[in-house]
Structure formats: structure tokens, C-alpha cells
């Protein structure tokens, strides 16, 4: 553009100078060679300007062409993304329509089953009334038959009595069959109800799910057949009227979540947070929500606990060991990512004492998130100021105390709490992480670690 402006400025000057020279040639006679040289100079200047203008236009065309190519590439990428998004949206809509059709069919079947159940109930009531009447008649006839036998011992049985007995037996069999049919209908009705509820839940999840959202796999996996780690079956009992754990508190009638005082066997009294989940009492041993509590603590603090039970906290290794040392317990880990997707996984586990550095041994039971913690291995607890012999110094690069094996891993739920989109990979590695066996690393917003006895009966 600058070249064009320069030429637009130079060309008029050249033309005007040429006109002035022509006019001066009329007034005064000058030598012919000088005028020729002057014309050649003007032509050269004009040619040079045109050459620069051509180069400028060529560069401008190349730049414009490159920009247009970039715009077309971006438009192609956008079109492809939009097309993929529309396909995903269409698939989700079709699945939603199919679920709605299935729900409608199940509702219709449910109504039919209800009507059939009502009809069977009414028929059953009428049959029961008929049975009572028949039993009264049979009783009367038996009395008459007894009198006849007493007075006429050799007389044959009256055919009416025989037919009535046969009829009553048939009615009894019919009633039994009807009762069995009613029970089967009730079972089918319950199954229909459960299917309808499940489909309604799927519809709710489908209606709020974003097509482009990528989250942790939510497919439930079948529970493993691996048995619980067996310990001596010595149940916790209460001491001095103080319950031994959250299960005892729940069985006493306290059915709400909150802070309670407990005293496991051979232990001091301390407070815990009992979390009631779907009618099951769990003892909360770790909770993280917003990073308000520093978890890069010393060994002593991890041993005895830190934080607030109504916020972020770690219950303490010694307290956890006092609860689980004489019973079989389940460890439940609940995770919530930055898209508010909630997931869980449960393990049967064994926890060692301080002499073993509170060694943890896990066996997965069930869950809806890929497993990320090593199973059937001795995981040793370590902090930055207490490192087990023969193990890496993981807490120095992975902040916070945690259970480690023979190599450092990404799954440190006691790590440094970072907001999403950390600036660098080492910083991202320090955050709350859950790395599945397929190698993908997920950023976690909040965590819960809970324990519950495998035998949920009363411990009182």
C-alpha cells in the first residue's frame, strides 16, 4: 500500500515536470540531445515506479491468498466439527425417542398388569367365598354321612357326597393355581416398576448431558467374585456407653449424617463424621472440596489427623486403624470432576499398624470408574518427612502423604489442590488426580474416602 501511495505521488510530479519542459521548449530553444535525455530519465523513473508497484501488488496477492487459504482450512475444520456435533446430537435424540417409546410401552404393560391383578384379586375373593360355602356344605354332609354310617354301616357312600368331595378338591387346586398366578403377576409388576424407574433415570441423564462432554466412563461393572480379605471375626463393641463406630450409632436410631463421638475397642474417644448413603452408615476418613486445607503435612499429623470434620480433613491413620483392626471393612472412594460428574469405587482392604507404615492391601469389589490404585500389592504410606526404606521419595514430587508402591503414580488424592487448566505438566501432576489403567489422567474437584464394615448387622 505504501508503494502505491508513493507512485501516486511521483507520477503527477513527473507529468507536471514534463509539461513544464515542453512549455519551456516552446519559449526557448534548447539543444535536442538534452530534451531526449530528460525524456529517458522520466521513463526510467516511471518504469521503476511501475516495477515497485508490481512487486508490491505481487506480495499483497500472495499474502491475501495465504490468508484466504487459512480461512478456508478453518472453515473446513469448523464444518467438520459442526457435522460431527450434529451427528452426535441426532444419535442422542434418537436414543431419547427410543427410550420414551420403551417407557410408554412399559407403562401400558404396567397398566395391563395392574388390571389383571385387580381381576385376579376379585376372582380370588369370589373363589374363597365359594370355598367357605362349600366347606360348610361338606361339613354338613359329612355329619349326615357319619349318622348314616352309624345307622346303616353297610350302606354304600352316597354319590352326591362323592361328587361334592371331588368338586371341592378341584376348587382347592384351582385356588392354589390362582394364588401362584397372582404371585407371579406381582413379581412381574415389581420388575416392570423397576424397569420404568431405570428408564426414567436414563431419560433424565440424557436430557441434561452435553453432546460434546468428555467425562469418566460411567458404565457400571459387575462385582468381582474375589472374596473379602478375611480377618478374625471380632466385632467392635461399645465401651462405657460410647458407640464403637457409625454402624452402632445408626442401629441405635440415629439415621442422619453428622458428627458423633465413638470409641473403638482399646482406643480413646474421638469424633468422626458419619455419612448415611442410601440407608448405609459410612465413616468418613478423608474429605476434600475446595483446597482450603493444606494436605502437605508431616507424618505426625497424618498419623493423628488434621483439618475440620465439617470441611476438609484427614481423620488420622491411627484412628482409622483402631476402627478397622478387628473387623472386615470396605473402603469406598467417591470422586467428582470439574464437570460435576460423580463416580465411586469400592475395595475390600486390609490396613497394617504403625510398624508396617500402615501398609494398605486392596481388592476391588465394584464401582463405575476405572480402577487406578494397584491391587493385591503392599502399598506403604509415606510423607515428605517419613519415607519407607526401599521406596522412592514420591512425596517430594507428589505433594501430600499417600500410599505408594515400588514406583510413583499419578493417583494422589491427598496431593496439592489446583484449579483446572494448570500451566505446566509438573504442576498438573501435583493436583488431585485419578489416572486409570488406560493411561488417561483426570482432574478431580472433590473426593471422599469412607469405610464401612462388611457385616452390617448391629454391633451392640
Q: Is residue 361 part of a domain?
A: yes
Q: Is residue 167 part of a domain?
A: no
Cα 346 from Cα 333, distance rounded (Å): 6
Q: Is residue 174 part of a domain?
A: no
Domain-terminating residue out of 88, 122, 149: 149
Q: At residue 209, does pLDDT exceed 60?
A: no
Highest mean pLDDT among 175-179, 262-266, 421-425, 441-445: 262-266
The pLDDT value given to residue 459: 36
Domain-terminating residue out of 98, 114, 149: 149
Q: At residue 214, does pLDDT exceed 60?
A: no
Are 289 and 402 found together in one domain?
A: yes
- When pLDDT is cut at 50, 70 and 90, the band that residue 460 belongs to is very low
Q: At residue 32, does pLDDT exceed 80?
A: no
The pLDDT value given to residue 258: 94
Quick count: other Cβ atoms within 10 Å of Cβ 51? 11
CA 459 to chain centre: 33
**Residue 429: Cβ-neighbour burial (10 angstroms; 0-12, 13-18, 19+):** buried
Q: At residue 420, does pLDDT exceed 70?
A: no
The pLDDT value given to residue 235: 39
**Residue 154: Cβ-neighbour burial (10 angstroms; 0-12, 13-18, 19+):** exposed
The pLDDT value given to residue 340: 87
Are 145 and 285 found together in one domain?
A: no
Are 300 and 443 found together in one domain?
A: yes
The pLDDT value given to residue 394: 60
Sign of CA dihedral 417, 308, 264, 247: negative
CATH of residue 305's domain is 3.90.215.10
Q: At residue 29, does pLDDT exceed 70?
A: no
Looking up cell 484449579 gives: 419
Q: Is residue 268 part of a domain?
A: yes
pLDDT, tens digit, 9 for 90 and up, residues 111-156: 888 888 788 888 888 888 888 888 888 888 887 788 777 775 554 5
CA 275 to chain centre: 19
Range scoring the smallest mean pLDDT among 177-181, 322-326, 394-398: 394-398
Cα 261 from Cα 271, distance rounded (Å): 4
Q: At residue 3, does pLDDT exceed 60?
A: no
Are 252 and 144 found together in one domain?
A: no
Highest mean pLDDT among 105-109, 269-273, 454-458: 269-273
User: Which of 437 and 16 is assigned the larger pLDDT?
Assistant: 437
- When pLDDT is cut at 50, 70 and 90, the band that residue 200 belongs to is low
Closest CA to 333 of 258, 260, 272, 412: 412
The pLDDT value given to residue 39: 81
pLDDT, tens digit, 9 for 90 and up, residues 234-279: 334 444 678 989 999 999 999 999 999 999 988 899 999 999 998 8
Which domain range does residue 126 map to?
A: 44-149
pLDDT > 70 in the chain, percent: 71
Q: Is residue 18 part of a domain?
A: no
By the 8 A CB rule, do 259 and 309 touch? yes
Cα angle 65, 68, 71 (rounded to 5 degrees) comes to: 155
Closest CA to 397 of 448, 431, 357: 431
Average pLDDT on 14-42 reads 58
Are 252 and 137 found together in one domain?
A: no
User: Which of 216 and 435 is assigned the larger pLDDT?
Assistant: 435
Highest mean pLDDT among 151-155, 176-180, 202-206, 279-283: 279-283
pLDDT, tens digit, 9 for 90 and up, residues 357-377: 999 999 988 888 877 787 778
The pLDDT value given to residue 68: 93
Q: At residue 23, does pLDDT exceed 80?
A: no
Average per-residue pLDDT for the chain: 77
Q: Is residue 237 part of a domain?
A: no
Q: Is residue 160 part of a domain?
A: no
Q: At residue 306, does pLDDT exceed 90?
A: yes
Are 137 and 257 found together in one domain?
A: no
User: Which of 300 and 219 is assigned the larger pLDDT?
Assistant: 300
Cα 350 from Cα 150, distance rounded (Å): 79
Q: How many domains does the chain have?
A: 2
pLDDT, tens digit, 9 for 90 and up, residues 313-359: 999 999 999 999 988 999 999 998 888 889 899 999 999 999 999 99
Are 119 and 255 found together in one domain?
A: no
Domain-terminating residue out of 114, 149, 184: 149
Average pLDDT on 61-67 reads 91
Q: Is residue 22 part of a domain?
A: no
Amino acid at each position: 500500500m505504501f508503494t502505491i501511495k508513493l507512485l501516486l505521488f511521483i507520477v503527477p510530479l513527473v507529468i507536471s515536470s514534463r509539461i513544464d519542459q515542453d512549455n519551456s521548449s516552446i519559449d526557448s530553444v534548447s539543444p535536442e540531445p538534452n530534451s531526449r535525455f530528460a525524456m529517458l530519465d522520466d521513463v526510467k523513473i516511471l518504469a521503476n515506479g511501475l516495477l515497485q508497484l508490481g512487486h508490491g501488488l505481487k506480495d499483497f496477492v500472495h499474502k491475501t491468498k495465504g490468508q484466504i487459504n487459512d480461512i478456508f482450512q478453518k472453515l473446513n475444520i469448523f464444518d467438520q466439527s459442526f457435522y460431527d456435533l450434529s451427528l452426535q446430537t441426532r444419535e442422542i435424540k434418537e436414543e431419547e425417542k427410543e427410550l420414551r417409546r420403551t417407557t410408554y410401552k412399559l407403562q401400558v404393560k404396567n397398566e395391563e398388569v395392574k388390571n389383571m391383578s385387580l381381576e385376579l384379586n376379585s376372582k380370588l375373593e369370589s373363589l374363597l367365598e365359594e370355598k367357605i360355602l362349600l366347606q360348610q356344605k361338606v361339613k354338613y354332609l359329612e355329619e349326615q354321612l357319619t349318622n348314616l354310617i352309624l345307622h346303616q354301616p353297610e350302606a354304600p357312600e352316597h354319590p352326591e357326597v362323592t361328587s361334592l368331595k371331588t368338586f371341592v378338591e378341584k376348587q382347592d387346586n384351582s385356588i392354589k393355581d390362582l394364588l401362584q398366578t397372582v404371585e407371579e403377576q406381582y413379581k412381574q409388576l415389581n420388575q416392570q416398576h423397576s424397569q420404568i424407574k431405570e428408564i426414567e433415570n436414563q431419560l433424565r441423564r440424557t436430557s441434561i448431558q452435553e453432546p460434546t462432554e468428555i467425562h469418566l466412563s460411567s458404565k457400571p461393572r459387575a462385582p468381582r467374585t474375589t472374596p473379602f480379605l478375611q480377618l478374625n471375626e471380632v466385632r467392635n463393641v461399645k465401651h462405657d456407653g460410647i458407640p464403637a463406630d457409625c454402624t452402632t450409632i445408626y442401629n441405635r436410631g440415629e439415621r442422619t449424617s453428622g458428627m458423633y463421638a465413638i470409641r473403638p475397642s482399646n482406643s480413646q474417644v474421638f469424633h468422626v463424621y458419619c455419612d448415611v448413603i442410601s440407608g448405609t452408615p459410612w465413616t468418613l476418613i478423608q474429605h476434600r472440596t475446595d483446597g482450603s486445607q493444606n494436605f502437605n503435612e508431616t507424618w505426625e499429623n497424618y498419623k493423628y489427623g488434621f483439618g475440620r470434620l465439617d470441611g476438609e480433613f484427614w481423620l488420622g491413620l491411627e484412628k482409622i486403624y483402631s476402627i478397622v483392626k478387628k473387623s472386615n471393612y470396605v473402603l469406598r472412594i467417591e470422586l467428582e470432576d470439574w464437570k460435576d460428574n460423580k463416580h465411586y469405587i469400592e475395595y475390600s482392604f486390609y490396613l497394617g499398624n504403625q510398624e508396617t507404615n500402615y501398609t494398605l492391601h486392596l481388592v476391588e469389589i465394584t464401582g463405575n470408574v476405572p480402577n487406578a490404585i494397584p491391587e493385591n500389592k503392599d502399598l506403604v504410606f509415606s510423607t515428605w518427612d517419613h519415607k519407607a526404606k526401599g521406596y522412592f521419595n514420591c512425596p517430594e514430587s507428589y505433594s501430600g502423604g499417600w500410599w505408594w508402591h515400588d514406583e510413583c503414580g499419578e493417583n494422589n488424592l491427598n496431593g496439592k489442590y489446583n484449579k483446572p487448566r494448570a500451566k505446566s505438566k509438573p504442576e498438573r501432576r501435583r493436583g488431585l488426580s485419578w489416572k486409570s489403567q488406560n493411561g488417561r489422567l483426570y482432574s478431580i474437584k472433590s473426593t471422599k474416602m469412607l469405610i464401612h464394615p462388611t457385616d452390617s448387622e448391629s454391633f451392640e
